[in-house]
Amino acid sequence: MSDVQEFSFQAEIKQLLHILSHSLYQNREIALRELISNASDALNKLRHIQLSDDQYRDDQPLEISLEPNKEAKLLVVRDNGIGMTHDELVENLGTIAHSGSKEFFRGLAAAQTTPGGQPDLSLIGQFGVGFYAAFMLAEKVEVVTRSYREQSGWRWESDGSGRFSVSAVAGDVPRGAQIRLHLKEDMAEFLDPAHLKQVVRRYSTFVPHPIRLEGETINEQKPIWVEPKGQVTEQQHAAFYQWLTHHSEEQPLWNLHLSSDSPIQFHAILYCPPTNVELMGFGRVERGLNLCAKRVLVEDDCHDLLPEYLRFLRGVVDSADLPLNVSRETLQDNKLLPKLRRVLTKKVLDHLASLADEQPETFKTFYEQFGGIVRTGLGQDFENGERIARLMRFHSTQEEFDPHQPAAPTVSLDEYVRRAVEDQTQIYYLGGPHLKTLVQHPHLDAFRKRKLEVLFLADPIDEFALTQLGRFADKELISIDSEEVKFPKSSTPADEPAATPAPPHFTRVVELFRGALAAKIADVRESSRLTGGVCCLVNPQGKMSNQLQKVLSLSVPDYELPKRILEINPRTALMQRLCELSVNPDNDEFIRDCGRQLYANALMTDGVAPDIEDATSRTLRFMEELARSRSAIIV
């Protein structure tokens, strides 16, 4: 075996390197940020090992140093962290298994291409590029490293074309890693200490280890989350957010700074990004919060501190109640985490509720971006159901809007309840795929006449969510196509004739209808909701609404639609005449046919196709009969 081993980069890395080293991408400073963040990770890992295993302890202070060398056009980023073994070098710096570059690739896949056919890198610059960003600055990169577990070191080397080499280093190599950047021609500024200082202050000031340059510590490392809430400025928040997220320009939409002493001691700062990258096609956000114990990072991207429906938040949680030497594995069983999660979840939801009151514009942006994710919490987090429901916004009959071009929905459940009449015990809603058709739905007549507000749920997720919730502020949430709808007495329209009894023989007609439709429906009965129309279909108690039935029938094979109830309005001309005709048994079959056709009509009103052959042949017969009874003689 020769002393120098040659390796080929994985194909994706070649592609990445090509983009990075040839891009005109302005923001080259981020390369330094990536290298410093790797050094910091390596120090965190070592500190953790030292805390759990005595044999690796020593009195070297853990630190990062920047060593510019003008003559050699060389910039070294050095740390005394865990370092890498031969195999780790090959694995970590030759494949794309790592979060930094993986994220970049997802970004690349989703990014728009510029007119020149290049991916739009300004967008991608928001994502961690990882180690390979070194090739934005350097024509050759060397990594000289010694793992904390080994006595001798290794050199990794590449010029960023397709290959890299690894060789053993003779002589002493200090523990940790030196990333040796042989800078490109036009990168001289990275040899200027003043410029390096500025870049570190801008992107890396919150790195929790000293960053040394010419004998001086140049970062602040101030953990702003332990500061009193009022003393952290907006600029500090922005800088901390940018450090956490690796975003260089973005400002958080809002921040939530929390401190508590009991029952659990913790400090936390949570940030909401201004945009939801999941909506832009970047896939699911896999990031989490940074968890610290007494300011020392225990786990970055910890997913156990917030429920999934708040997964877009970033930030840090620091608790003195957490043992310093806790590991990812033992963290799983730690009793503190579920407690922290409960407190944080409540605080975030309460914060959002007050945001809606105090900063409606910010809340509106938040809801447009993240409303879709937060709403999914209703089906998952029963403890906070009402808190989540409070954040939802709907269109409603009370609102003036153009159903062809609706703006964002604005009606909250609280607002609905405030407007409801005193004896109203239910919150009415109607679900369906298009707002355009929803606003014209025949079921709404009864509610409009009584001036009762109905919420529109154009997204089936909302309806599933409300079904899960069941009640809000002591009122039952109910789909208006349910037979369980109850109208408040006080809402009876003034022009409604005082409950006139149904015409004589109405029960006979109902019986004939029942007989004709027995196989298809659950029942036929008199309606208390219809004022103008002859009939409608409602869902029996406990059955799902039409919208949910439709969704299920599309996704569940062999899903059987539940039988519905045909409600009839006896105070209509047609029904009155049928009642009169029903005394003569000769009319039975005609009345049955009318029942069948009314059912077909009701189905069509709900957007469901009846038995077409049956319905068309019957209407044809009706027309023939009518045509026969008309006269051709002009009088």
Residues that bind Mg ion (CB under 5 A): 38, 100, 130
Distance CA 603, CA 537 (A): 7
Count Cβ neighbours within 10 Å for each residue of 342-367 and write b for 16 or more, e otherwise.
ebbbeebbebbbebbeeeeeebbbbb
Q: Which of 27, 92, 217, 236 binds ligand ADP (CB under 6 A)?
A: 92
Among the candidate windows 106-114, 126-134, 362-370, 371-379, which touches ligand ADP by CB under 6 A?
A: 126-134
297 vs 197: CA distance, rounded Å: 24
Query: In the complex, what is the shortest distance from the CB of residue 41 to Mg ion, in angstroms, rounded to a whole number?
Result: 6
Indicate which single residue of 13, 68, 79, 516 sits in contact with ligand ADP (rule: CB under 6 A): 79
Pick from 130, 377, 570, 595: which binds ligand ADP (CB under 6 A)?
130
User: Does 125 engage in binding with ligand ADP (CB under 6 A)?
Assistant: no
Q: Judge if the upstream peptide bond of residue 263 is cis by omega within 30 degrees of 0.
A: yes
Rounded Cα gap, residues 166 and 173, in angstroms: 15
Nearer to ligand ADP, 107 or 128 (CB): 128
Please choose, out of 37-45, 199-207, 497-505, 521-529, the segment that lies near ligand ADP by the rule CB under 6 A: 37-45
Among Mg ion, ligand ADP, none, the one that 377 touches (CB under a kind-dependent 5 to 8 A) is none
* Binding status of residue 527 toward ligand ADP by CB under 6 A: no
How is residue 112 annotated by DSSP?
P
* Binding of residue 99 to ligand ADP (CB under 6 A): yes
Residues 6+ apart with CB under 8 A from 286: 99, 301
Q: How many other CB atoms are there within 10 angstroms of residue 564's CB atom?
A: 25
The one-character DSSP state at 411 is B
φ, ψ of residue 621 to 5 degrees: the values are -60, -45
Residue 523 contact among ligand ADP, Mg ion, none, beta carbon within 5 to 8 Å by kind: none
Contact pick of 44, 65, 101, 158 for ligand ADP (by CB under 6 A): 101
CB of 143 to Mg ion, least distance (A): 13
Q: How far is the CB of 72 from Mg ion (least distance, A)?
A: 25
Cross-strand partners of 428: 454, 478
Cβ proximity of 42 and 89 under 8 Å: no
CB under 6 A: which stretch of 123-131, 315-323, 437-445, 468-476 binds ligand ADP?
Answer: 123-131
Closest CA to 138 of 28, 54, 274: 28
The entry of ligand ADP, Mg ion, none near residue 522 (CB within 5 to 8 angstroms by kind) is none
447-459: burial string, b at 16+ Cβ within 10 Å, e else = bebbebbbbbbbb
Q: Binding segment for ligand ADP among 80-88, 383-391, 507-515, 533-541 (CB under 6 A)?
A: 80-88
Q: By CB under 6 A, is residue 84 in contact with ligand ADP? A: yes
Under rule CB under 6 A, residue 315 binds ligand ADP: no
Nearer Cβ to ligand ADP, position 79 or 462? 79
CB-wise, 99 or 354, nearer to Mg ion?
Answer: 99
- Which region, judged by CB under 6 A, interacts with ligand ADP, from 95-103, 297-305, 327-335, 404-412? 95-103
Q: Which amino acid is at 422?
A: E
Identity of the residue, 100 or 160, whose beta carbon is nearer to Mg ion in the bound complex: 100
What lies within 8 Å, CB to CB, of 476 at 6+ separation is 425, 426, 427, 470
Main-chain phi, psi angles of 291, to 5 degrees: -105, 125
Per-residue interface string for the shown chain with ligand ADP, residues 161-200, x marking contact by CB under 6 A: ----------------x-----------------------
Cite the DSSP H helix spans in 64-192. 86-92, 99-110, 121-124, 134-137
The β-bridge relationship of strands 454-457 and 426-431 is: parallel
- Helix or strand (DSSP H, E) at 558: none
Q: Which of ligand ADP, Mg ion, none does residue 426 bind (CB under 5 to 8 Å by kind)?
A: none
**Which does residue 101 bind out of ligand ADP, Mg ion, none, counting CB within 5 to 8 angstroms by kind?**
ligand ADP
Give 400-403 contacts, CB < 8 A, sequence gap 24+: 403/435, 403/436, 403/438, 403/439
In whole angstroms, how close is the CB of 131 to Mg ion at the nearest point?
A: 6
Binding site for ligand ADP (CB under 6 A): 34, 38-39, 41-42, 79, 81-84, 92-93, 98-101, 128, 130-131, 177
